[in-house]
Amino acid sequence: MNTITHPSKETKIALITGGSRGLGRNTALHLARKAVDSIVTYRGGRAEAEAVVAEIIQAGGKAVALHLEVGDSKSFCAFAEQLRNTLHRHWQRDTFDYLVNNAGIGIHASFSETSEAQFDELVKVHLKGTFFLTQALLPLLADGGRIVNLSSGLTRFALPGNAAYAAMKGGIEVLSRYLAKELGGRRITVNTVAPGAIETDFGGGLVRDNAQVNAFIGGQTALGRAGVPDDIGGAIASLLSEDNRWINGQRIEASGGMFL
């Protein structure tokens, strides 16, 4: 009787910014179920990040938590060196495979009331941070690797109070296409995942905790409810799988069909 054998494959490693909670945490846990190890970064939630690591290890995977201030681009060279040492120490590797640029902040203010300080903070975290962190980590990203940048459904539909935030995410979508083009020679795919309204603590937990807002979103969504982290973590993990290796330079909205 003939049998089919598969060569052993090196464990894949993902770096997920903002991986201590919300969508980043959920993505790391979904990847762990697919035997992908994770390095999760955190800004202030060290205990939460270590809890994610413990959960992955308990499930049989490997994970590490590293501190990262995505809004401080001057720290990226030192972070890249720390990442290099972490890869050597824990995986005996020089590279990692997947970069998920997830970390972010939410500032809700009307266009007329958005301050320059708020705008600059959004630029530093969402646009400048993603741009220059990705640039700093490129030497450590394996050829044939993947990048997923997080955007928002707010780049397609407009809800008052989100002009500055949505503008940053629009920039991320353009940046993703340019990265896909420029990194194609290294066989690195770059895509954008754009979540709709999700029940997390993002933006003060408005979608999760405000019943009126939650009901409004459910009424405007084809599937009849607001999203939950599991809806997004699973989508990102699926996009990183080998089955989706030919998807490149795309904006993929995961919103359950909001405002169709």
Sign, CA dihedral 4-29-238-97, equals negative
Total structural domains within the chain: 1
* The pLDDT value given to residue 18: 97
Q: Which of 76-90, 148-162, 195-209 is predicted with the least confidence, judged by mean pLDDT?
A: 195-209
Q: Which two tokens stand for residue 239?
A: 């996009």
Catalytic residue from among 42, 98, 165, 178: 165
Mean pLDDT of the chain: 94
Residue 8, pLDDT > 60, answer no
244 within a domain of the structure (yes/no) = yes
Give the pLDDT of residue 131: 98
User: 166-198 in b/e burial notation, b at 16+ Cβ within 10 A?
Assistant: bbbbbbbbebbbebbeebeeeebbbbbbbbbbb
| Whether residue 1 has pLDDT greater than 50 | no
Q: Is the pLDDT of residue 3 over 60?
A: no
- Residue 28 in any domain: the answer is yes
Find the domain containing 37 and state its range.
Answer: 13-198+229-254
Structural domain contains residue 27: yes
Burial group, residue 99, by CB count within 10 angstroms (0-12, 13-18, 19+):
buried
Q: Has residue 233 got a pLDDT over 90?
A: yes
Percent of the chain with pLDDT over 70: 96
133, pLDDT greater than 80: yes
Residue 197: DSSP 8-state = S
Q: In whole angstroms, give the CA distance from residue 43 to residue 63.
A: 17
- pTM of the entire predicted model: 0.94
Q: Write out the H or E segment, with its range, that includes residue 254.
A: strand 251-254
Q: Choose among 14, 127, 153: nearest CA to 73.
A: 127
* 210 is a domain residue: no
Q: Please compute the mean of the pLDDT values over residues 88-93 and round it to a whole number.
A: 98
pLDDT tens sequence across 167-225: 999 999 999 999 999 999 999 999 999 999 988 777 677 787 778 888 989 999 999 99
Phi, psi (rounded to 5 degrees) for 99: -115, 120
The pLDDT assigned to 7 comes to 42
pLDDT of 35-78, one tens digit each? 999 999 999 999 999 999 999 999 999 999 999 999 999 999 99
**CATH number of the domain within which 151 lies:** 3.40.50.720
Over residues 128-133, the mean pLDDT reads: 98
The verdict on whether 165 is a catalytic residue reads yes
Lowest mean pLDDT among 4-13, 56-65, 136-145: 4-13
Q: Give the residue-averaged pLDDT of 11-28.
A: 97
Residues 6+ away with beta carbon under 8 Å from 195: 23, 150, 152, 153, 227, 231, 232, 253, 254, 255
124 in a domain, yes or no? yes
